[in-house]
Amino acid sequence: MPKGRVPAPIDRDELLERESALRTIAAAVAAARGGGGDFVLLEGHAGMGKTRLLEAALEQARTVELAALRVTCAELERNLSFGVAGRLVRALLAQVPARRRGPLLRKAPPLVRPLLEIGPEVGGSARSADDPPLDPSAPSTAGDPATLAQAHALFTVCAEALGQAPALLAIDDLHWCDQASLEFLLYLANRLDELPVVLLGARRSRLGEYQIDVLERIAALPHIRVERLTPLTRAAIAVVVERALGERADEAVIEACAHVTGGNPFYVRELLLSLKEGHDLHPSELTEQVRTLAPEAVIRALRTRVGRLGRAVSELARAAAVLGDDVPLRHAAALAELPLGEAAAASDALAAADVLAADEPLRFVHPLVRRALYRDLPAFARASRHLEAARLLDSEHADPEHVAAHLLLGGHHQDEWVVQRLRAAAASALANGSPQSAVNYLERALQEPPSPEQRIDVLAELGTAEVAAGEPAAAAHLAQAIEASGDGRRRAELSRLLGDALAARGLHEQAASAYDAGIAELGGEIKQRDRSTVDTELLELHDGLQAGFLTSASLVPALYARYAERAATVLGELDPRPQTHGQRLLLAHEAIRRALAAEPIERVREIVEQAWDGGRMLDPRRDIGMTPDLVSGVLTLTGDLERSVEVTEAALEQARRRFSPLAFATASYLRGLACYLQGQITQAMADLELARDARRYGWRKFARVASAGYALCLVEADELQRAQQVLEDQDEGPPDYQQAELLYARSELHLAAQRPDKALADALACGEMIGAAPHMIGASPPWRTAAAQAAAQLGDRERGCELAREELDIARRMGVLHAQIRGLRVLGLCQQGAKQLGCLHSAAELGNEAPPRLETIHALFELGAALRRSNQRTAAREPLRRAADLAHHGGARALYAMALVELQAAGARPRREGLLSGPMSLTPSEHRIAALAAAGQSNREIARALFVTPKTVEYHLRNTYRKLDILTREELVSALEAAGPVPDLA
């Protein structure tokens, strides 16, 4: 491309009646300069001036020294996974000074290195053993965790690249954006408060079949500013026409222009370009000509204008239209079969004719211009050109998905090369975390069609991709592949995928049948004595099928007998030294089954440790979604809270390495639950805040029960109003265990607020909900003891004792320490005199012999208060002092305050340590970040560890410094040390 070209300045006519949008853009730019983020979405029909507004915004950003970057989404690339996101982040990285860019790229997560086009020479291989599994057979959860992991990883790169330098990122034609990139933009839109960036997008209205749900979700966000562009008024059209035609623009000409174009700025512009040739025409003749130029005629005139520029120019224009926007000149020249010099001259001519922008790579001045020239090609010629374009790109070793973008639009000729390249593109899309793109490529491969030999593989790969994408059609395609395959082992592998697909849709009876069919294909069950003669991969497949069958069959009443029989056979034969990941899952299932049945904990803990297998259950090649649920959940149920924390910390570390915010949220929730039961309220709240924060990018797995746990923490922290708000803001859900947890949390809130009647109602409602699933007795919240306390406060001590004894019996049968302490404590509260003191003494003694527990603090407080009421004031002081000390260090402010009151009543003079000043005044998030900073971690290291941005870390540290009246990190260490040992909040 000849040098010296500069983009033409924006004509003021092109921004007429767009003052509202310009003001909104100006406000967003000002916010970015002040360190804030914003998202402006321009919406309108084709030709309404969205592109011109983007160009004006980019000019405005440059004048105030913002980095101004632009990408244009192309219809051709809407299946290219993370195509737009990759271009956007690469453009942002190009703005970073070289001295910063190298270290930044070396630190870029391996997960997104291919998207950033980083090779091994920049910092290691494209993937590592800790990356998410590429195996698409791994079960998919809601929210597409692979895509979300990459979105978060790209977000961290953006945050690093932006630093403190504000930027404007303009994305044109968002309606053609690929799904994965839209997920990234949604993720970014939900965290704009953490970045100094303006996102400016433009999308077309009412695009019918091409409209994308994610884009609608972005537009619906409450903080997104949407500017809807309307047609120009007659007054604005008059201004434009008069400037273009001068004295010949009489009222009739203006009226005709307004009528023909409907106020569409693009049609007005093209119409006036067409009228330029009639400079000798009288106004009445101009009026007549305008009336013949309806929008389609305007487009025909554009084609004619290009045609008059000569064959070479026309061929280059059509080639560029086929290749799409941002086309290298050499590609357009090759497709047009023009020498490079001749192609350069042709591109100059097209720029002069206002068809192409005056720069390289080639880009049309407006999408409607490209579409007009593209549709000028006959359908068969278009398909042939796309096939030629695919071969051209493949010859230059282009990304398989760029090649496939053209193959999707090419003709169907039963070409083996086409099928191979589409399968390669599907594999690339799956590796990049975009299963939906893989589905599109493989559906096209089926249409080619493939040879009979290839068809089985294509069907299997399509079904596999559909499983990963959560597509209902997966079952049908996998069933077809199973039927067509002649290999038993292959049919078993596909049966497992089919079972996963059916289970994901809730069709558990059909899923169990599929898993069972897979086991039959392998020749039936592999007995423990035969395992040494079977290869590991076959064992993995067999055990995975068994685990799938047991999971699905346990949820279908009609299959419960078969489940019990199979469980007794399979789980009874399990090797305590598992050889496969499937065996670890089976062992975890066995532990859960025993825990839910309230069996003694010794055997349950033994089995769950066998499942954990020294951490091998966190196999980096496998999906980590279920690991903390299965293992940490069982450990918490059995009261082994310290071990549960260890397991979740390992899961948290793996989630960080994989940049998986959903797995991080799940592990945070599970650790928060264990910390709450330990009495570490500040730590628990920090974890639960992180988990609940993940709802904004799709975490729903334990969202309701995390809110219940957070509300319970707030009750212990003496923040009853906030607890009430958390529970009221939580959406109602199905009558499951999560809803039961919410009812239990509400009953505890009512108890703390002295509303025993409401507490009793909610606790009993919780019990009724749990009663519908008697096999869950070991996992039910302690609703009986909540109801017992409420009944006792209402005067019905007999009923309270009955409920408390039931809870205590279950706790003793299982052997869970904190549940036994609670049962004894509440039983004591429901009694009087010596019986009350006896139960409370027993509860406190149980707690004294064990690691710290929240129930121990409650038992110590209740014992001290009961001793003080019985006039044993000296004896009351020791348990009250211990309760106050434990409550203070764990952040249980309600217990701490009550313990101080009781100590004073017992004649002690306790030193009141202010919970709302010094380190104890910090919020859980501030405390967590302060502890990490005091441990020597940098802001960026803290941000990576907690899935937040450096800006969030800086914000919390500023608040911390203000509350502690300090200025440096050295002072921070001293301030936290003065308050006692800094808890491990990492």
What percent of the chain stands above pLDDT 70?
A: 87
Distance CA 685, CA 922 (A): 12
Q: Give the helix/strand (H/E) hosting 168.
A: strand 167-172
Per-residue pLDDT band at 303 (split at 50, 70, 90): confident
Per-residue pLDDT band at 6 (split at 50, 70, 90): very low
Distance CA 436, CA 180 (A): 9
Read off the pLDDT of each residue in 407-412 and give the average, rounded to a whole number. 89
Distance CA 807, CA 458 (A): 56
Sequence letter at residue 925: S
- The whole-number pLDDT of residue 126 equals 35
Alpha helices by DSSP H, listed for 359-487, are 367-375, 379-395, 400-407, 416-431, 435-447, 452-469, 474-484
* pLDDT tens figures, 201-240: 999 875 544 445 788 888 888 889 999 999 999 999 999 8
- The whole-number pLDDT of residue 207 equals 53
Read off the pLDDT of each residue in 387-398 and give the average, rounded to a whole number. 93
Least confident range of 611-615, 828-832, 886-890, 918-922? 918-922
Per-residue pLDDT band at 823 (split at 50, 70, 90): very high
Per-residue pLDDT band at 709 (split at 50, 70, 90): very high
- The whole-number pLDDT of residue 805 equals 96
- The whole-number pLDDT of residue 979 equals 54
**Residue 294 or residue 408, greater confidence:** 408
With contact defined as beta carbons under 8 Å apart, do 125 and 161 qualify? Answer: no
**Residue 219 or residue 620, greater confidence:** 219
- The whole-number pLDDT of residue 322 equals 93
Read off the pLDDT of each residue in 941-954 and give the average, rounded to a whole number. 76
- The whole-number pLDDT of residue 821 equals 96
Average pLDDT, the chain: 83
Q: Is the pLDDT of residue 614 over 60?
A: yes
Highest mean pLDDT among 521-530, 690-699, 832-841, 925-934: 832-841
- The whole-number pLDDT of residue 517 equals 93
- The whole-number pLDDT of residue 11 equals 54
Q: What is the DSSP letter of 736?
A: S
Q: How far is CA 706 from the centre of its chain?
A: 17
Read off the pLDDT of each residue in 747-763 and give the average, rounded to a whole number. 96
What's the sign of the alpha-carbon dihedral 125, 126, 131, 133? negative
- Can you give the C-alpha Rg of the chain in angstroms? 34
- Give the number of C-alpha atoms closer than 13 A to the C-alpha of residue 147, restricted to the C-beta side: 31
CA dihedral 466, 471, 477, 482 (to 10 degrees): 70
Residue 873: φ, ψ to 5° = -65, -40
- The whole-number pLDDT of residue 278 equals 59
Query: Residue 527 — left, alpha, or beta (φ > 0 → left; ψ -120 to 50 → alpha)?
Result: beta
Cis peptide before 361 (omega within 30 of 0): yes
Rounded (10°) angle between helices 367-375 and 311-323: 110
**Residue 286 or residue 366, greater confidence:** 286
What's the sign of the alpha-carbon dihedral 292, 296, 297, 299? positive
Rounded (10°) angle between helices 893-905 and 854-869: 20
- The whole-number pLDDT of residue 176 equals 87
Q: Please, is 54 exposed, middle or buried when counting C-beta atoms within 10 Å of its C-beta (0-12, 13-18, 19+)?
A: buried
* Among the listed residues 389, 297, 314, the one whose alpha carbon sits nearest the alpha carbon of residue 355: 314
Highest mean pLDDT among 221-235, 653-667, 902-916: 221-235
Distance CA 703, CA 222 (A): 21
With contact defined as beta carbons under 8 Å apart, do 759 and 789 qualify? Answer: yes
- The whole-number pLDDT of residue 208 equals 47
CA dihedral 449, 451, 457, 463 (to 10 degrees): 20
Read off the pLDDT of each residue in 593-601 and give the average, rounded to a whole number. 79
Q: Is the pLDDT of residue 475 over 80?
A: yes
Sequence letter at residue 317: A
Highest mean pLDDT among 27-36, 414-423, 688-697: 414-423
What's the sign of the alpha-carbon dihedral 306, 308, 313, 316? positive
Q: Is the pLDDT of residue 480 over 70?
A: yes
Distance CA 716, CA 679 (A): 9
- The whole-number pLDDT of residue 144 equals 54
- The whole-number pLDDT of residue 597 equals 75
Distance CA 223, CA 420 (A): 45
- The whole-number pLDDT of residue 391 equals 94
- The whole-number pLDDT of residue 719 equals 93
Per DSSP, the three-state class of 167 is: strand
What's the sign of the alpha-carbon dihedral 118, 122, 124, 128? negative
Highest mean pLDDT among 126-140, 272-286, 433-447, 908-922: 433-447
Per-residue pLDDT band at 873 (split at 50, 70, 90): very high
Q: Is the pLDDT of residue 31 over 60?
A: yes
Per DSSP, the three-state class of 734 is: coil
With contact defined as beta carbons under 8 Å apart, do 195 and 38 qualify? Answer: no
With contact defined as beta carbons under 8 Å apart, do 694 and 167 qualify? Answer: no
Read off the pLDDT of each residue in 98-118 and give the average, rounded to a whole number. 80
Q: Is the pLDDT of residue 127 over 70?
A: no
- The whole-number pLDDT of residue 210 equals 43
Per-residue pLDDT band at 986 (split at 50, 70, 90): very low
SS (H, E, C) 66-98: CEEEEEECCHHHCCCCCHHHHHHHHHHHHCCCH
* pLDDT tens figures, 766-789: 998 876 555 455 567 899 999 999
* Among the listed residues 719, 693, 697, the one whose alpha carbon sits nearest the alpha carbon of residue 707: 693
Highest mean pLDDT among 30-44, 518-532, 617-631, 769-783: 30-44
Q: Please, is 663 exposed, middle or buried when counting C-beta atoms within 10 Å of its C-beta (0-12, 13-18, 19+)?
A: buried
Q: What is the DSSP letter of 924?
A: H
* Helix, strand, coil shares, percent, the chain, to 5: 70, 5, 25
- The whole-number pLDDT of residue 472 equals 80
Q: Give the helix/strand (H/E) hosting 244.
A: helix 234-245
**Residue 288 or residue 817, greater confidence:** 817
Per-residue pLDDT band at 697 (split at 50, 70, 90): low
With contact defined as beta carbons under 8 Å apart, do 394 and 403 qualify? Answer: yes
Read off the pLDDT of each residue in 654-660 and give the average, rounded to a whole number. 77
Read off the pLDDT of each residue in 815-821 and give the average, rounded to a whole number. 93
Least confident range of 200-204, 296-300, 511-515, 820-824? 296-300
**Residue 246 or residue 670, greater confidence:** 670
Distance CA 545, CA 50 (A): 53
Highest mean pLDDT among 359-373, 623-637, 782-796: 782-796
Neighbours of 923 (CB within 10 A): 16
Q: Is the pLDDT of residue 638 over 60?
A: yes
Distance CA 462, CA 501 (A): 12
Distance CA 913, CA 916 (A): 9
Residue with tokens 């799938």: 548
With contact defined as beta carbons under 8 Å apart, do 699 and 665 qualify? Answer: yes
Distance CA 50, CA 202 (A): 6
- The whole-number pLDDT of residue 777 equals 53
Distance CA 738, CA 119 (A): 46
* pLDDT tens figures, 711-733: 999 999 999 999 999 999 876 66
Q: Is the pLDDT of residue 910 over 60?
A: yes
With contact defined as beta carbons under 8 Å apart, do 674 and 644 qualify? Answer: yes
Highest mean pLDDT among 462-476, 729-743, 901-915: 462-476
Read off the pLDDT of each residue in 877-892 and give the average, rounded to a whole number. 92
128 CB contacts (<8 Å, ≥6 apart)? Answer: 110
Per-residue pLDDT band at 163 (split at 50, 70, 90): confident
* pLDDT tens figures, 685-694: 989 988 888 7
Concatenated DSSP letters of 870-888: TT-HHHHHHHHHHHHHHHH
Distance CA 929, CA 842 (A): 39
Distance CA 542, CA 525 (A): 8
